[in-house]
């Protein structure tokens, strides 16, 4: 499924932030999804980590509850779209001021991305359905029926279900 830039890569950044366990993983998630952030100070990483804690409930909530959660994030991020051209790129939207710094940019980008996704395809994000796994994901599959964070988790559940059926047969 193709998303607009804020609904796709920005939502993927949000999922990566929720799943990150360290400052380097935070940075890897942002850079890996196209954000132009060179590095983070310890304070910036801590503030972005706290923001990730605010993002997690959006992935855990049922689709009907997500708009209110995302509206709270948008209000806190003080998102205000504007058109920019930088680094030789064509005109495109940004949701934070040019001088917002990494924390402000991440907050606005992820809140805006989740807002687009919740409006366009609210069933395409969640937490892994495997018991004990709390990994956040954005479903970019064609059919939109993803329930697990990875093929590995899906396989574990399906194998366990198969074995349980075999024992009860």
Q: Where are the beta strands (DSSP E) in 61-124?
A: 82-84, 92-94
Is the pLDDT confidence value at 78 over 70? Answer: yes
**What is the rounded CA–CA span in Å between residue 164 and residue 158?**
10
Q: Note the pTM of the prediction, 2 decimals.
A: 0.84
Contacts of 77 (CB under 8 A, 6+ apart): 95, 96, 104, 107, 108, 110, 111, 112
- The chain-wide mean pLDDT, for the chain, equals 88
2 has pLDDT over 70 = no
More confident residue, 3 or 46: 46
Q: Is the distance from CB of 44 to CB of 102 less than 8 angstroms? A: yes
Give me the pLDDT at residue 63, please.
94
Number of other CB atoms surrounding residue 41 within 10 Å: 12
What pLDDT is stored for residue 6 in this prediction?
47
Residue 3 pLDDT exceeds 50:
no
What is the spatial distance between Cα 148 and Cα 139, in angstroms, rounded to a whole number? 9
Report the alpha-carbon distance of residue 95 to residue 46 in Å, rounded: 21
Specify the 3-state DSSP secondary structure of 15. helix
Q: What is the mean pLDDT of residues 110-124?
A: 91
CA atoms within 13 A on the CB side of 162: 6
113 or 79: which leads in pLDDT: 113
pLDDT digits (tens, 9 = 90+) for 55-75: 999 999 999 999 999 999 999
As a residue count, the chain comes to 169
CA distance 157 to 22: 28
94 touches 84 (CB < 8 A) = yes
Spans of all domains in the chain: 9-127
pLDDT value at residue 160? 80
Fold of 9-127: Jann2411-like fold (1.10.3300)
Q: Residue 7 has what pLDDT?
A: 58
């Amino acid at each position: 499924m193709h998303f607009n830039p804020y609904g796709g890569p920005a939502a993927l950044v949000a999922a990566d932030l929720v799943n990150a366990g360290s400052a380097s993983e935070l940075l890897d998630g942002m850079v890996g999804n196209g954000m132009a952030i060179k590095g983070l100070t310890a304070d910036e990483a801590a503030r972005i980590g706290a923001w990730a804690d605010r993002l997690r409930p959006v992935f855990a909530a049922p689709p009907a509850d997500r708009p209110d959660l995302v509206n709270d994030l948008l209000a806190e991020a003080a998102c205000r779209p504007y058109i920019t051209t930088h680094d030789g790129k064509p005109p495109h939207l940004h949701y934070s001021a040019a001088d917002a710094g990494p924390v402000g940019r991440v907050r606005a980008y992820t809140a805006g991305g989740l807002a687009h996704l919740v409006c366009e395809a609210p069933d395409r994000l969640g937490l892994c359905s495997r018991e004990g796994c709390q990994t956040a994901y954005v479903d970019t599959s064609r059919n939109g029926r993803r329930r697990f964070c990875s093929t590995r988790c899906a396989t574990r559940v399906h194998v366990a279900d198969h074995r349980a059926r075999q024992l009860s047969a």
